[in-house]
Structure 1
Amino acid sequence: MVTIRIRNLRLRTYIGFNEEEMKKRQDVVVNVRFSYKADEAAETDDVKYAVNYRTITKEIIALVEDGRFMLLERLAADVLELVMQHEPISSAEVEVDKPHALRFSDSVSASLRAERSNA
């Protein structure tokens, strides 16, 4: 198994349920970690056997920036579902931070994990 990490993907989206939050985009930081069996990719050095993390990143960007979310939990769940749609991925973890969500705090985050039952 190999673990791929997409770190500190800084995006803007509509997130929150207060009237002001619903009117303007806010910063979010997305971190994704996923694992898949990469024996063939490592042995052959052939991209056709690898999970394309660039494709996944583009899908995450589109989901987040085109979406509207009331809760961090929902945003994290949607990103996790998107990542797990890629069949070779056996497990994934997503963390979404909302910087400056609370006074005196750097951020608030929500984390979720998933694993295929046949992994």
Structure 2
Amino acid sequence: MNLDLAKIRIKNLRLRTYIGINDDEIRNQQDVVINIVIHYDAKRATDTDNMDDALNYKTITKAIIRLVEDNRFSLLEKLTADVLDIAAEHPWVTYAEAEVDKPHALRFADSVSLSLSCTKGD
């Protein structure tokens, strides 16, 4: 039994980007809220207490911030898929999930969200 399976959660990363297909969405940035879950085997990190043996969530977060702030997206699906690609990029990652909320996208709803996940084989 492996007791070192880690689950990293990046919660409520609030960013602004251009997302949507309506004229006002194309002209004006909107808020998005991103949540990420990443699973990886942290055995080396728990044994050594060395940063080089751990998955660096700060590096992952900075890459997601660059992606979101430096691009334009028509669809929530594309934005979420691109965020998931970054979350799952490291070879140690065995599972990743990305959820992107678009607050106030619908008049009577707090937000609309889309989530995607992937499992990587051995």
TM more than 0.5: yes
**Which residue does 1:9 correspond to in 2?**
13
Q: Report the equivalent of 1:92.
A: 96
Uncovered stretches (5+) of structure 1, i.e. residues with no partner: none
Alignment-derived partner of residue 77 in structure 2: 73
Separation of aligned partners in 2, 1:86 and 1:28 = 24
Identity over aligned residues, as a percent? 56
Which residue number in structure 2 is paired with residue 104 of structure 1?
108
CA distance in 1, matches of 2:6, 2:86: 19
Q: Deviations over 1:63-118 (max 9, x none)?
A: 00111001111100000011111111111000000000001100000000001122
Count the aligned residue pairs: 118
Partner residue in 2 for 1:53: 57
Q: Partner of 2:105: helix, strand, or coil?
A: coil
Q: Tell me which residue corresponds to 2:26.
A: 22
Gaps of 5+ in 2: none
* TM-score normalised per structure 1: 0.97
Q: Secondary structure at the match of 1:51?
A: coil
Matched letter for residue 117 of structure 1: G
* Aligned-partner Cα distance in 1 for 2:103–2:87: 23
Stretches of 4+ aligned residues off by more than 3 angstroms:
none
| Helix, strand or coil at the partner of 1:112 | strand
Q: TM-score under structure 2 normalisation?
A: 0.95
Match of 1:34 in 2: 38
Write the distance in 1 (CA, Å) between the matches of 2:8 and 2:121: 20
Distance 1:86 1:24 in 2: 33
